[in-house]
């Protein structure tokens, strides 16, 4: 089993690589090669189970994609993207990475003729505007950002390339991943981790929305577990629509902070400063939170049991490793 993770230098890509290297098998077969690829060569992963290759690959370059996705490639996890706020601020860069880069990946798979499994990480930003609640897997795509539009176009390609037998694709719309380790990224939702991560590290954080702002969340640990499960779902169970929303929990900012307090005590919450940021609010206020994920749940994917678990996972998986 030869596996490639595009976006392998990112937080989810590295965690996915660590999980797969530890498992040492996927879809009932031993993993013989695991490659992490990103626009900047990922750092090595320290795992005992196997050697993990790391390579530089800009997916906007078809020749670079061809060097990474080789004819013996069985599964591609496509996590590479320019995040939401950055894609909104830099339209051309977002299109090159999020749309044309994804097209290059799918075209490489098509020309190989081997029908590899492609797991694409999409976004809830494909929904918006006047789409009625609740949001289900049958809701029509109506993105209100460039990032959401780019991801929606790739979802349609994943469906069509799968229908035609070029790939065995599946696209998962990720909830907001929290608590993310590391530095803030260019996502509009980045504050939904930083208002917890920084206080847990003894640092001040700014929250640009109120305590009652709701959103849909999933921990990094559960997300990568779901990506693996999603890769293993037999094609015949996916139906005619290969895109679905990954399960998560709908919570307010206040509920997240209360969960952090329940696990870590009252001091971290005192480091949160409430300060409106209109440019962020303009993006996140268009997002939805009444989300039903029946299809993914029926396929065995799951949400975290509670946001207290999200806090515990961060303390166990990331803060303890600093």
Choosing from 103, 147, 161, 314, the catalytic residue is 147
Confirm if 21 and 50 have CB atoms less than 8 A apart. yes
**In 69-136, alpha helices (H):** 84-89, 91-94, 101-112
Among candidates 295, 183, 158, 274, which has minimal Cα distance to 230? 295
Q: Is the peptide bond prior to 128 cis by the omega test (within 30 degrees of 0)?
A: no
Q: Going by C-beta distance under 8 Å and a sequence separation of 6 or more, which residues neighbour residue 313?
A: 179, 219, 220, 221, 222, 304
User: Residue 249: enclosing H or E segment and its boundaries?
Assistant: strand 249-252
To the query of whether residue 103 is one of the catalytic residues in this protein, the response is no
The DSSP element (H or E) to which 6 belongs, if any, is strand 2-6
Q: Give the start-end residues of each E strand in 175-213.
A: 176-177, 205-207
Residues catalogued as catalytic: 147
């Amino acid at each position: 089993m030869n596996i490639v993770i595009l976006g392998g230098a990112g937080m989810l890509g590295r965690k996915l690589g660590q999980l797969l290297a530890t498992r040492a098998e996927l879809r009932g077969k031993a993993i013989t090669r695991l490659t992490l690829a990103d626009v900047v060569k990922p750092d090595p992963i320290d795992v005992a189970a196997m050697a993990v290759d790391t390579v530089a690959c800009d997916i906007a370059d078809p020749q670079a994609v061809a060097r990474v996705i080789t004819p013996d490639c069985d599964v591609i996890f496509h996590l590479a993207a320019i995040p939401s706020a950055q894609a909104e601020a830099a339209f051309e860069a977002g299109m090159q990475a999020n749309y044309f880069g994804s097209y290059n990946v799918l075209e490489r798979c098509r020309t190989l003729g081997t029908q590899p499994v492609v797991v694409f990480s999409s976004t809830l930003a494909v929904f918006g505007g006047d789409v009625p609640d609740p949001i289900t897997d049958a809701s029509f795509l109506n993105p209100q950002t460039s990032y959401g539009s780019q991801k929606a176009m790739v979802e349609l390609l994943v469906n069509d390339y799968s229908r035609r037998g070029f790939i065995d694709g599946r696209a998962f719309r990720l909830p907001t991943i929290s608590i993310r380790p590391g530095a803030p990224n260019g996502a509009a939702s980045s504050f939904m981790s930083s208002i917890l991560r920084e206080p847990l590290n003894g640092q001040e954080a700014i929250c640009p929305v109120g305590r009652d702002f709701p959103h849909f969340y999933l921990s990094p640990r559960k997300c990568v577990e779901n990506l693996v499960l999603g890769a293993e779902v037999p094609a015949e169970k996916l139906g005619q629509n290969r895109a679905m929303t990954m399960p998560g929990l709908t919570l307010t900012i206040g509920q997240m902070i209360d969960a952090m307090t329940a696990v870590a005590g009252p001091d971290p919450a005192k480091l949160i400063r409430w300060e409106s940021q209109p440019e962020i609010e303009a993006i996140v206020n268009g997002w939805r939170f009444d989300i039903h994920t029946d299809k993914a749940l029926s396929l065995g994917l799951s949400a975290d049991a509670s946001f207290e678990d999200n806090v515990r996972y961060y303390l166990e998986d990331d803060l303890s490793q600093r």
